Each structure stands twice: as structure tokens, then as C-alpha cells.
Amino acid sequence: MTQIPVLSFQRSERDRVVAGICGGLAAALGVDATLVRLVFAVLALAGGAGILLYFALWVWTGGRHPVIAVLILALATMGLLQALGVPWSVVLGAGLLVAGLVLLARRGATLRPGGGSLFIPGIALAMAGAVVLLDHLGSSGHVFGPGALAGALVLVLAPWVWRLASERTERIRLAERAAIAARIHDSVLQTLALVQRDADDAPRVRALARRQERELRRWLYGSGYGDAETLADALAEAVADVEEAHLVRIELAMSGDAPLDDALTQVVLAAREALVNAAKHAQSDDISVYAEVEPAAVSVFVRDRGIGFDRSAVGPDRRGIAESIESRMRQAGGSATITSAPGEGTEIELTMPRGGAS
Amino acid sequence: MIRVVLVDDHELFRAGVRNELSGLVDIVGEAGSVAEATRLIREVDPEVVLLDVHLPDGGGEAVIAAVAQERPAVRFLALSVSDAAEDVIAVIRAGARGYVTKTISRDELADAIRRVAEGDAVFSPRLAGFVLDAFRSGEPMGADEELETLTPREREVLQLIARGYMYKEIAARLSLSVKTIEAHVSSVLRKLQLSTRHELARWAQERRLV
């Protein structure tokens, strides 16, 4: 915060000749009142500046008409400068500058912008004064002209820029917080609410917790939401979906990973079908998926420890699913092998050759 | 009953595990940090330490490093919610005899503790996948070639573990005894801990390990 030291004083009730201004100033400055009166007397000789200054301070201490006080003060400055033989444009510029700065300083003695009613006129006066002053200095070939103007602008604008920048940082921080709050509300709090509601349904609570854990982990450390870009991410998504929809526990293991292309997307879809098939029919909540990326091929194994089936003996719906998985893989250029026997669980192996991979 | 120390910085999780394992193993102490765990293990000398990979004052490997020398009989089984390969491999290389995820069922966890106490290695499907990945393709670079590569049989066993088969099922499938399967897994664990394999180092570095 930019503090401007402002002399604060009160009219002296005790030590007074006219209104107690000199006495008050002397008390505030810690000097003899006679000395202050002498200065005012000398200044009074300089174009009447001393007298004007006296009135300005008198009005100022009253506190009700700061603008009038400032105007008188500005006139006093102008009178003083003219008495000293300073050119008129400098006198005008200095007067405006002083008036503006005093108005600004009055606003709680700070240069930081804030809603003071005299802020805008203060800025305007100071700017006008600076321009008149600098115009004179510039036309007289003074080298400090442009630099001084830049300095004045920096002085006036810096607090604003500073505030805008800090407001922007604050806004970004708030936006981040809001995003985190929204995400936690949408996911974690929802899950906790569901867990409380379904507290007696252990498999469901477990599935909810697992899915929430995956989501949170992916959000915190992983590639974020949206479409998966690798085989591992896509399989993890498929696993999470099936776990939640069918209340089963699926263990996913990976060796290697590969970017998700069209052929691998078909593999993931086939694996998902196999998972749903196991979740629905195997009567076991223990399912494993293992995906292995080798230079020559990608293999995915979906295994359950359930009741298994004899392919020639099962109803058309289970056979249909198996055939759907096989034809999907064939069309994409791969193959599917289904191994199962009653009581021995089922394993579906999906293989997709990798063309052009080194 | 097997005497077990539980190390995890989440009290709620410890309470859950203690509750689940009651009657199956003897939980003789709990710790929530590396410093606490080190002190506790020296004091109660357990058979197995169930060890969280992430602790506030260091990783699970810090606990192993602090007590492994003076208490060589203590076995460590890493237990974590972490899916990250580097966490898994780091704690195994530090000396843990196995790794299971926190979503493991009660009976599987009790069984894993029993196997680790007997000196076996416990590979979850996920760990088997990571290990296969670590030892995949590429020429061995270390001096000891035996340490740097997996035998075809070891690879086969690991693949079946990754696919979700239990040791008993693997043994039946490969016409071997369960003991032989366990020997293969222990051999893989030894290679994982001792290997200076170039490929393994590179793999680890890619995952910001070592």
C-alpha cells in the first residue's frame, strides 16, 4: 500500500491570532508559532500566496469544503510561483497538479484506487497539471519531459494495474476453487450420499467406492476425463463401467500400453462385452482382465471364476454374445478364443495383430 | 496365529483391516509413520509387516531400509491404493516380498500374509503385469545374464498370475506342483530385487524411479 504522509493538524484554541492556523501548524510541526507566522508573512508578500494559503488551511481544517480549500491552495501556489517569476504555463500546471494531488491525498492518504468521490476529479486535475507542466518543459527542449510524463503516468496508473492484476489472480483462484468444489460435489459427495443410502448393500457400496476411487485418481494424477487415448485408459474405463453397472469386482492388470487406434477400440469393445457377459452369467463376482502389448500383437484376457458353460448346451443368448465377440474381432482383423467348461469358469482371449509396429 | 504389524497413516483404514483380519492373524501393533513403524518393529519383532507404500515421513521402502538389516526375519507385504508401477517396483526392490492392492478381499489378504510369513512371494495380477513389462524385450546388459532375464517358464507363470489364475490352477495347467510355482515366483522376486538390467533401469527411469 502506498502511504502518503499527510500532515494532520487542528486549529489551535489556545495559541491564536486570527483563526489559530499558525498555532496549530506550529504544534503539529513542533516548531515555534512565531516562526510559522513569519513564513506566512513572507509568503503573503509573494503575490498574496501566504494569505491564500492561510485561508486554504482554514477551510481545510473545517473539513466541510475540501474542494474550496484545494482551489484556494492551488491559487496560492500559482501566486507564489508567479511572484517568483516562473512562466505562466508552469504556474498553471503546478497549480493543477497540486490541487489534484491534494485531493487524491485527502482520500485516506493512499494512492490505491478505491471508491472515493474525489478520486476521479483528483486524477483529472493532477493529469491536466502534469500535461500543462510537461508541455512547457517539452517545448523548452527540456530532456526530462517524456520521462517525467511516463513517470507521472506510472505513478497514477500503477495502482490500478496492480489492483487489476491482483483481482485477476484472485478470480483465477476462485474459479479453480469453484471447479474443485463442483467436481467434489458431483463425484465424492454424490458417492457418499449413495453409500449412506445403500449402507446395507455391501457389494453396491464396494462398487461405488471403487468407481469413485478410480475417478478421483484419474482426475488427480491421470489423463483427465474425456475420451481415453490409450488402451490402458480405455480398458480402465470399461472395467469401471461394468463394475458399477453389475456390482462386480474386476481386477485389471496391464503389461505395456499402446495408443488407441480403430482396431484397439474394437478390442476394448469386445473386452467390454466379455466383461458384461461374465458379470451377468458367470455367477461370480471375481473377474480378471489382463492386457499385454507385444510388438507383434495385443492380447486381452477376460477371465471369470464362475460356473462356466458348455458351448453346445447353452441357450441362444449366451451363445449369441460369444458369437458377437468372435465376429467383432474377426471383422477388425483379430481373433477371439473362448475357453470354458461347466464349473471351471470362462476365459476369453482376444488377439489383435499390430501392423507396422516395430 | 501370525504376528502382524500394520503400518498405514490412515487410522480409518487400519481400523478396517484390523477388523477384517481379526481371528485370522494377530495384529500386535499399529504405526502411522516411518519413525513410529521403525520403533514398533524393533520392539515387538513381528513376523509380517503390512506396509503402506505412502507414509507422511517417507515411503514404505524407508521402513524396510531402517529395520531389514537388524531384523532379517521380518517379512514385508506392501499394501497400497496406488496403481502406479513405480511405487510397486520401488517397494519390492527395497525388499518387500509381495504387493497387494487395498481392494483385496479378507480371505485373499489373510492368505497373502500367510504365504509371505512362510517366505513365499505374493504377486497380485497387477504386480505380475508390471514385472512382465519391466523385463520385456531388449538385450540383457548386466554381467549376470541369469539375473537379467526371465526364463520362458517364469514368464508363463507370471502371465497366468496376471490373467487371474491362482497358484493351484497354474500348477494344474502347467502340470507342475504348487511348490514349483512358488519357487518360480520367488525366483522372479529375487531377479526383480537384484537385477541391474539395463532395460529395468530404463523402464524405472521412464517412470521417474531410481
CB nearest B133 (choices: A249, A255, A303): A255
Number of A to B CB contacts under 8 A, please give it: 56
Q: What is the CA radius of gyration of chain B?
A: 17
- Give the nearest chain B residue to A287 (CA atoms): B164
Q: Who wins on pLDDT, B182 or A229?
A: B182
Mapping DSSP to helix (H, G, I), strand (E, B) and coil, where does residue B41 land?
helix
- Give the nearest chain B residue to A293 (CA atoms): B133
For A95-98, the CB contacts below 8 A with 24+ separation are A95/A129, A96/A125, A96/A126, A96/A128, A96/A129, A96/A132, A97/A125, A97/A126, A97/A129, A97/A130, A97/A133, A98/A73, A98/A74, A98/A129
- Of A149, A102, A137, the C-alpha closest to A122 is A102
Residues of chain A with C-beta less than 8 angstroms from the C-beta of B81? 213, 217
CB contact under 8 A, B133 and A287: no
Average the pLDDT over B98-110 and give the result: 85
Residues of chain B with C-beta less than 8 angstroms from the C-beta of A305? 164
- Its pTM stands at 0.59
Average the pLDDT over B146-169 and give the result: 90
The angle formed by the CA atoms of residues B66, B71 and B75, to the nearest 5 degrees, is 90
What is the mean pLDDT, run by run of 10 residues, along chain A of 358 residues? Answer: 51 72 75 79 73 76 71 76 72 77 61 53 73 64 54 70 83 83 75 82 81 75 61 88 83 89 90 90 86 92 87 68 84 90 88 72
* pLDDT of res. A292: 93
Per-residue pLDDT at B106 exceeds 50: yes
* pLDDT of res. B210: 42
Here the ipTM equals 0.81
Q: Who wins on pLDDT, A193 or B156?
A: B156
Q: For residues B171 and B71, what is the distance between their CA atoms, to the nearest angstrom? A: 33
